């Protein structure tokens, strides 16, 4: 979702900000723009389309300047167009602003401003906020800093804003509530970004700005204040991230690179945490609240999208191993209904980005009601990781492809470690079974590697054959039911083919009506307790002339005689299987998307980090 970049320092700002916007393209956007401070005037360029369209539009025009702010917009209020693109210029022409988030009371502010004679060039809530700030500045004859503070006290909603003022050279004003903002510190220069990727090439020292903080950024100083005008000491952190991690490294797409990284990222998720030989799990992240978890009345997992699917797997595994009641909630529903939450509940938030607006707000509400918050988050220093009482990072590294792949398997790995550790502490698992599962988990990176090595050509061929399907059904049972949901979500996102995931037995209660010779049905059918039952479900599809594509365990002699297409995965324990069976489904979606000629890394309408509700 909207990307924000800023620079002020001794270098030309334009190439830094443009390059930064390209680094943020993965977040999803539909227009881009930049505002430069040039001598004592502001110059704005903005365009619907991609950053390269903006560059093309700017062409030979002047881009000189040592301070600039840039934006990629993911439309919320008003269609993607040149005039709705950011930055916006205030009516006075003195301020330029970019905004990520949604101003919920913008309609009221807009009508107040219209009564005073303001006219708007865009349909955005952002232009309203900008003029609201400017109006306060002009009426009160105060500085911009003071005006921002007054304005933000009246604003409801979420925002990161960056402003420049034609009369204050080399100064960027920035504030946040609910949307992410990172400031990178260089030698006599500062970088601003929605995440650290635009500044990685220049600095490893960053400050994560918190809600209700206002930053005044100049080349040689970073002043941080709260909305009460009190100074705050910036907490400088060192980034543990290399530039190579956000580049394609020879792969055609980030998504493919990230799928192929999984043997490594799964191992990274348990590195230093799992000692399979000694049957030991060390997870310092849960130590502080282990007793709370063990005695929890309920564990409530709150997440969205793929992370929600990881939560479903965790529900099955934690209930099986720990005998603790687990509920899995869509964050967007949980935050708005009136859930019964008590101090005996532990809320587990799962999020790759750590910035998903619905998840974040759901946690804030639960925290207010006394629940303990535990985060399973990938992005270090993200908002969710900071509001949680405790948590474990998933250590998947930056995920750039919009479709979550390696972040999902890293989430599963950490959730399985948590389940195993709790089960051991609670005494609900025998030492033999504990050791067995530790060893199975430890063996997964090699097994994923084997799938990537042996199955890719087969999956490519299947993808080519089924790339024109109009719809696909994904079925699984037990631990593989969430995998079916995840497989269907991946296909929808990447190929724009309609897909549904269902528990296989539920098929008879409706979806079976869809089955004919044109409907490919993907079965996640690795060997487990339910295997015979899922084989019967396959027969039911075949009896109705449906096409069966099956992910099965090596050595399975029955399924290949029924299925039209077979993809093999190595044998593993059924609890651990979701880590393995999802990989062929990621590849299938990827290759179908590629064969359909689509931009798999940046599917239409999607945003990597959904920072608005
Ligand atoms: C996954 O492929 C999606 N793009 C999406 O469903 C994602 O998982 C969801 O938006 C949640 O994001 P988060 O993990 O960053 O909170």
Helix axes 431-454, 456-466, angle to 10 degrees: 70
- What angle, rounded to 10 degrees, do the helices at 13-23 and 51-58 form? 160
Buried residues in 14-39 as b, exposed as e (16+ CB within 10 A): bebbbebbbbbbbbbbbbbbbbbbbe
Q: Which two tokens mark 428?
A: 């609900």
Q: Are 581 and 551 in contact (CB under 8 A)?
A: yes
Asked if 304 is an active-site residue, the reply is no
Q: Determine if ligand 1 sits within 6 Å of the CB of residue 493.
A: yes
Ligand 1 pocket test target in 310, 311, 352 with most atoms within 8 Å of CB: 352
Q: What does the mean pLDDT of the chain come to? A: 94
Nearest CA to ligand 1 atom 9: 305
**How much is the pLDDT for 150?**
95
CA nearest neighbour of 345 among 311, 390, 296? 296
How far, in Å, CA of 55 to CA of 47, rounded? 9
Q: How confident is the model at residue 604 (pLDDT cuts 50, 70, 90)?
A: confident
H/E/C letters for each residue in 398-415?
CCCCCCCCHHHHHHHHHH
**351 in contact with ligand 1, CB cutoff 6 A:** yes
Band (pLDDT 50/70/90 cuts) for residue 178 is confident
Q: What is the pLDDT of residue 443?
A: 97
Q: How confident is the model at residue 168 (pLDDT cuts 50, 70, 90)?
A: very high
Residue of 413, 296, 395, 297 whose CA lies nearest to 352: 395
Pocket of ligand 1 contains residue 488 by CB under 6 Å? no
| Nearest in space to 487 (alpha carbons), one of 457, 526, 517, 461 | 526
Q: Choose, from 2, 322, 392, 438, the residue flagged as catalytic.
A: 2
Please state, in angstroms and rounded to a whole number, the distance separating the CA atoms of residues 39 and 368. Answer: 48
Question: Can you tell me the mean pLDDT for 570-575?
Answer: 97
Whether the CB of 379 sits within 6 Å of ligand 1 = no
C-alpha of 457 from chain center: 29
Q: Residues 331, 356: contact at Cβ < 8 Å?
A: yes
pLDDT in tens, 30-61: 899 999 999 889 999 999 999 999 999 999 99
pLDDT of 245 > 80? The answer is no
Q: Is the CB of 394 under 6 A from ligand 1?
A: no
% of the chain residues with pLDDT over 70: 100
Q: What are phi and psi of 210, to 5 degrees?
A: -95, 165
CB of 359 shorter than 6 A to ligand 1: yes
Ligand 1 atom, smallest distance to 384 CA: 16
Residue 330, judged by CB atoms within 10 A of its CB (0-12, 13-18, 19+), counts as middle
Residue 103 or residue 76, greater confidence: 103
What pairing do the DSSP bridges indicate for beta strands 565-569 and 547-553? parallel
Q: Is the CB of 352 under 6 A from ligand 1?
A: yes
Tokens representing 526 are 């690795």
- Distance from the alpha carbon of residue 485 to the mean position of ligand 1, in angstroms: 13
The ligand 1 atom nearest the CA atom of 490: 2
Which atom of ligand 1 lies nearest, measured to the CA of 607?
Answer: 4
pLDDT at residue number 162: 98
Per residue in 556-570, pLDDT tens?
Answer: 988 989 999 999 999
Shortest-distance atom of ligand 1 to CA 379:
15
Q: On the CB side of 348, how many CA atoms lie within 13 Å of its CA?
A: 32
Question: pLDDT tens digit string along 349-408?
Answer: 999 999 999 999 999 989 998 999 999 999 888 889 999 999 999 999 889 899 999 999
CA of 340 to the centre of ligand 1 (A): 26
508 among known catalytic residues: no
- Both tokens of 390, joined, read 């405790």
Identify the residue whose C-alpha is closest to ligand 1 atom 4.
403
- Over residues 246-271, mean pLDDT: 91
Which residue's CA lies nearest to atom 10 of ligand 1?
305
**Does ligand 1 lie within 6 Å of residue 589's CB atom?**
no
Is residue 307 lining ligand 1, measured as CB closer than 6 Å?
yes
Q: Is the minimum distance from the CB of 610 to ligand 1 under 6 angstroms?
A: yes
Q: 604 C-alpha to center of ligand 1: Å?
A: 15
Q: What is the pLDDT of residue 152?
A: 95
Q: Is 265 a pocket residue for ligand 1 (Cβ < 6 Å)?
A: no
Burial string for 49-83 (b: 16+ CB within 10 Å, else e) reads bbbeebbebbeeeebebbbbbbbbbbbbbbeebeb
Whole-angstrom CA distances from 206 to 37, 186, 360 are: 24, 9, 22
Q: CA distances (Å), 540 to each of 297, 521, 537, 563, in order?
A: 41, 11, 5, 12
pLDDT top residue among 233 and 607: 233
What is the distance between the alpha carbons of residues 53 and 32, in angstroms, rounded to a whole number? 8
The residue contributing the CA closest to ligand 1 atom 7 is 305
- For residue 305, the CA-to-ligand 1 centroid distance in Å is 5
DSSP line for 344-363: TEEEEEEESSS--HHHHHHH
pLDDT above 90 coverage of the chain, percent: 82
Of 306, 354, 482, 491, the one to substitute when testing ligand 1's pocket (max ligand atoms within 8 A of C-beta) is: 306
Q: How confident is the model at residue 25 (pLDDT cuts 50, 70, 90)?
A: confident
Out of 74, 304, 501, mutate this one to test ligand 1's pocket (max ligand atoms within 8 Å of CB): namely: 304
Residue from 23, 46, 492, 608 carrying the catalytic annotation: 608
- Residue 69, classed as helix, strand or coil, is strand
Closest among 537, 568, 563 to 551, alpha carbons compared: 568
**Contact 451 CB / ligand 1 (< 6 Å):** no
Does the CB atom of residue 349 touch ligand 1 within 6 A? no
């Amino acid at each position: 979702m909207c990307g924000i970049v800023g620079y002020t320092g001794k270098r030309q700002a334009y190439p830094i900000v443009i390059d930064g916007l390209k680094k943020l393209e993965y977040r999803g956007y539909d227009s881009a723009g930049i505002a430069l401070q040039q001598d004592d005037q502001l110059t704005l360029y903005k365009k619907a389309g991609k950053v390269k369209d903006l560059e093309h539009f700017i062409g030979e025009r002047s881009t000189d300047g040592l301070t600039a702010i840039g934006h990629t917009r993911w439309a919320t209020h008003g269609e993607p167009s040149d005039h709705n693109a950011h930055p916006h210029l205030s009516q006075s022409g003195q301020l330029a602003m970019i905004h990520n988030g949604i101003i919920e009371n913008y309609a009221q502010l807009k009508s107040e401003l219209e009564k005073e004679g303001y006219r708007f060039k865009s349909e955005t809530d952002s232009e309203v906020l900008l003029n609201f700030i400017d109006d306060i500045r002009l009426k009160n004859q105060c500085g911009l800093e003071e005006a921002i503070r007054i304005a933000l006290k009246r604003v409801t909603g979420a925002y990161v804003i960056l402003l420049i003022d034609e009369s204050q050279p080399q100064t960027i004003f920035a504030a946040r509530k609910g949307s992410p903002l990172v400031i990178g510190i260089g030698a006599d220069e500062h970088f601003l970004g929605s995440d650290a990727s635009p500044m990685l090439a220049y600095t490893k020292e960053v400050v994560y700005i918190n809600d209700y903080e206002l930053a005044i950024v100049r080349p040689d100083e970073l002043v941080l204040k709260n909305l009460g005008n009190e100074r705050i000491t910036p907490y400088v952190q060192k980034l543990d991230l290399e530039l190579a991690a956000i580049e394609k490294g020879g792969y055609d797409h980030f998504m493919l690179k990230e799928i192929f990284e999984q043997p490594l990222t799964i191992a990274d998720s348990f590195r230093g945490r799992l000692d399979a030989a000694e049957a030991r799990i060390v997870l310092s992240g849960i130590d502080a609240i282990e007793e709370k978890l063990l005695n929890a009345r309920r564990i409530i997992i709150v997440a969205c999208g793929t992370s929600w699917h990881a939560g479903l797997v965790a529900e099955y595994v934690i209930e099986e191993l720990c005998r603790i009641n687990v509920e899995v909630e869509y964050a967007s529903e949980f935050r708005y209904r009136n859930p019964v939450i008590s101090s005996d509940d532990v809320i587990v938030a799962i999020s790759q980005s750590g910035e998903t607006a619905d998840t974040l707000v759901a946690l804030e509400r639960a925290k207010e009601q006394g629940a303990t918050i535990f985060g399973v988050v990938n992005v270090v220093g993200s908002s969710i990781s900071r509001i949680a009482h405790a948590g474990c990072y998933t250590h998947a590294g930056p995920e750039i492809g919009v479709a979550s792949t390696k972040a999902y398997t890293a989430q599963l790995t950490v959730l399985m470690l948590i389940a195993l550790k709790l089960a051991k502490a609670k005494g609900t698992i025998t030492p033999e079974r504990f050791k067995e599962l530790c060893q199975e988990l430890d063996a997964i990176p090699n097994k994923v590697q084997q799938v990537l090595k042996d199955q890719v050509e087969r999956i490519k061929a299947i993808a080519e054959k089924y790339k024109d399907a109009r719809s696909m059904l994904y079925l699984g049972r037990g631990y593989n039911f969430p995998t079916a949901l995840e497989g269907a979500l991946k296909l929808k996102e990447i190929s724009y083919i309609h897909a549904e995931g269902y528990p296989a037995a539920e098929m008879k209660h409706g979806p079976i009506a869809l089955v004919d010779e044109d409907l490919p049905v993907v079965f996640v059918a690795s060997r487990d307790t339910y295997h015979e039952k899922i084989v019967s479900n396959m027969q039911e599809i075949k009896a109705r002339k449906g096409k069966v594509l099956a992910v099965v365990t090596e050595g399975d002699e029955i399924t290949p005689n029924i299925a039209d297409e077979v993809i093999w995965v190595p044998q593993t324990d059924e609890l651990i299987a979701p880590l393995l069976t999802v990989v062929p489904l990621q590849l299938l979606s990827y290759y179908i998307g590629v064969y359909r000629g689509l931009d798999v890394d940046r599917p239409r309408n999607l945003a990597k980090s959904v920072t608005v509700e």
